[in-house]
Structure 1
Amino acid sequence: MTAAVLSGLGGWLPPRVVTNEEVGRELGVTDEWIRRRTGIGRRHVCDPGTSTSDLAVRAGARALSSAGVEATDAVVLATATPDHQIPGTAPAVAARLGMTGAIAFDVNAVCTGFVYALATGTALVRGGLAESVLVIGADTFSTVLDPADPVVRPLFGDGAGAVVLRAGTPEEPGALNAFDLGSDGRHEDFIIVPSGGSRQRSGGRPTDPVGSYMTMRGREVFRAAVSRMAESSRTVLAEAGRDVTSVDRVVGHQANIRILRAVADRLELPEDRLISNIDRVGNTSAASIPLALADGLAEGGVKEGATVLLTAFGAGLTWGSTVLEWPEILLNEGEMTP
């Protein structure tokens, strides 16, 4: 049986750093208040004129270099902040990376997007449609946040992370053999940007500037995220024939440090098995898991041979998990990790 094997990794963060002190001066909150609620100390934010595709191209190029290849057969871009409503952003990213003619499309599962895109890339390899796939998670959430919202604005940063998948065997380190994915659209209003889509446009209502910003029901999201990520993690481990105690590192979607700790507690895993960079980058949505992997690899927290659990939760509502034995991956010299 053909398997999709992770063979390269890269990340990119915009150079501009926005500290809690800077955000706090504008919103009337303190660094201590933000850190206590979220674990976030700073985030990277795009300069005007920089788009999601710009970040995706930088991260994608680094992942290709890490894998030692110049191109792949397909590009799957996980993003909730595309460059345009039409067309998708992935074809432009592929073209800028020199891969005109490649399969290229977007996946929008918001903060679960990277895991959904990994599963999609894996299906392309298993189905024989591609020998290799570049999977990118990239978001510029600073473009959909109300600058005056003291609750939501401090949470998010911009960034991109990417991996390369290649055809291999299920026994190889890095093989992605098991996934758990799910959704519950009954709660789409928990995290939403109300305006700009067909529902608002078809109703003949003018675009409301406030409706163009993301809103979030924090308490409901917190409870659902902890429950779904823990449940999904157990499901995928069972499918992979692994016990929870075999997990060496948990790389969860970097939404909130309290969520990550609660998930570890539900799984009865010690907190020192968590890989987290949320204090330095904030919530980067679809980019958060590959950026955390790059950070963990650079700092020695993710090592060859480790059993690594990836789990995420996002708007939709969506959730997903996968597990793999970490392969030998080399980051580029000077890799821009958080």
Structure 2
Amino acid sequence: MNPSPAPSFAPAAPGLPRYTRIAGTGSMLPVRRLSNADLAAELAQRGVETSDDWIIERTGIRARHFVDADTHASDLAVGAARHAIEAAGCQPADIDLIILATSTPDMVFPSTACIVQNKLGIVGCPAFDVQAVCSGFVYALTMADSLIRTGTARRALVIGAEVFSRILDFNDRGTCVLFGDGAGAVVLEASDTPGILATDLHADGRHVGILCVPGTVSGGQVLGDPLLKMDGQAVFKLAVGVLEQSARATLEKAGRQESDIDWLIPHQANIRIMQGTAKRLKLSLDKLVVTVDQHGNTSAASIPLALDTAVRSGRIQRGDTLMLEGVGGGFTWGAVLLDY
């Protein structure tokens, strides 16, 4: 296939409002699915004890997907991207901006977004990665919204893709049972009517140590520890509070109320955090989109994965108001309110 040049377009006329809307969603999961029982059996071979009941009680997770040795974040991202592009009724050549959120890139550089761009056969449009861990998709969506509103782009591909199985310590049952691999994507396009209503982003570097992978590459060797470390209790305490604050700030910016939210789609980390956030926002748990039970925590992929799952199942319909929110290592957090 010959690469297609990035499309050109006339920016919005001065003084005219410019909005963005989600035109299509997509997702991709690795073929290999591990139930809690499957994972417990593998961990037992390492002398690590856990069980289905123990994992469900603490996290709500029942299964997750892991990539094989030959699959990379870009492969999952491309699959999700193609599904989103198809759902949007456009072609890869119509994309003029690619932003990919990931903490598990294919390489140190170039960006995984550029690798995805090449695999999709697109040439010339901006393509870059965002590293905000589990908040990455919210960050990426906010950036794409801003670039479309200013006329820099017209149709953006926004992706969250992770292969967290590559950075897990399978001797630490407190973390290795939590995470999975996957990718989710949306096509975001310019619109005459509002889609994204308001966004809210934050970070607090004082909490770097509570969720991190404290390793790096130097001279061809890994320095430090290349596996995920987490203080679960500290993350839990911070997460519920900042998610509520960010959601309320986003509602205030948009001039909306909690009762206007049709669906809450939080980062899929832990069912107790998710339910706690919904209760603080006075939302029925029926309005909570939950996929953590089947996907585990897929970091930057979790929100677009959950979004696509709910769209394709028919739960989310055009015109519904969605609150997307994430929190992750950094410590980063944020929210996006949109009319789907």
TM-score normalised according to structure 2 size: 0.91
Which amino acid in the other structure matches residue 67 of structure 1? A
Residue 56 of structure 2 aligns to a residue in which SS? helix
1:3 and 2:4 equivalent?
Answer: no
Cα drift, residue 301 of structure 1: 2.2
User: Which of residues 236, 259, 262 in structure 1 aligns to 2:276?
Assistant: 262
CA distance in 1, matches of 2:222, 2:153: 41
Q: Identity rate of aligned residues, in percent?
A: 44
| Partner of residue 170, structure 2 | 147
CA drift of 1:299 comes to 2.3
Q: Write out per-residue CA displacement over residues 231-286 of structure 1, whole angstroms, 9 at most, x where no aligned residue.
A: 10000011011001111110000000010001011112111110011111100111
The list of structure 1 runs, each at least 4 consecutive aligned residues, that deviate by more than 4 angstroms after superposition, is none
1:2, distance to aligned residue in structure 2 (A): 0.9
* 3-state SS of 1:177 partner: strand
Specify every segment of 5 or more residues in structure 2 that has no aligned partner in the other structure, as ranges: 1-16
Contact 2:265/2:288 (<8 A) preserved? yes
The answer to whether residue 110 in structure 2 is matched with residue 87 in structure 1 is yes
Partners in 2 of 1:155 and 1:207 — Cα distance? 24
**Equivalent position of 1:23 in the other structure:** 39
SS at match of 1:94: helix
Give the gaps of 5 or more residues in structure 1.
327-338
The one-letter amino acid paired with 2:73 is T
Q: In the TM superposition, what are the counterparts of 1:32-181 in structure 2 within 5 Å? A: 32-71=53-92, 72-169=95-192, 171-172=193-194, 175-181=195-201
Conservation of the 8 A alpha-carbon contact between 2:263 and 2:322: yes
Give the letter for the 2:202 counterpart.
G
Residue of 202, 207, 215 corresponding to 1:182: 202
**Mapped partners of 2:28, 2:220: distance in 1:** 38
Q: Measure the CA separation in 2 of the matches of 1:138 and 1:205.
A: 26
The residue type equivalent to 1:267 in the other structure is L
Q: Which AA in structure 2 matches 1:244?
A: E
SS at 1:289 equivalent? helix
Does 2:271 match 1:231? no
Secondary structure at 1:137 match in 2? strand
Deviation at 1:207, TM superposition (A): 3.1
* C-alpha RMSD of the superposition: 1.4
Out of 17-26 and 293-302, give the one that drifted further.
Answer: 293-302
* Contact 2:197–2:339 (CA under 8 A) maintained in structure 1: no
Task: Return the offset for 1:80.
Answer: 0.6
Q: After superposing the two structures, state which structure 1 stretch, 72-81 or 17-26, moved more.
A: 17-26
- Please list the CA deviations of residues 290-313 of structure 1 after superposition, one character each: whole Å capped at 9, or x if unmatched: 111111122232122211111110
Q: Which amino acid aligns with 1:16?
A: R
Equivalences, count: 317
Code of the aligned partner of 1:207: V
Q: Distance in 1 between matches of 2:284 and 2:103?
A: 32
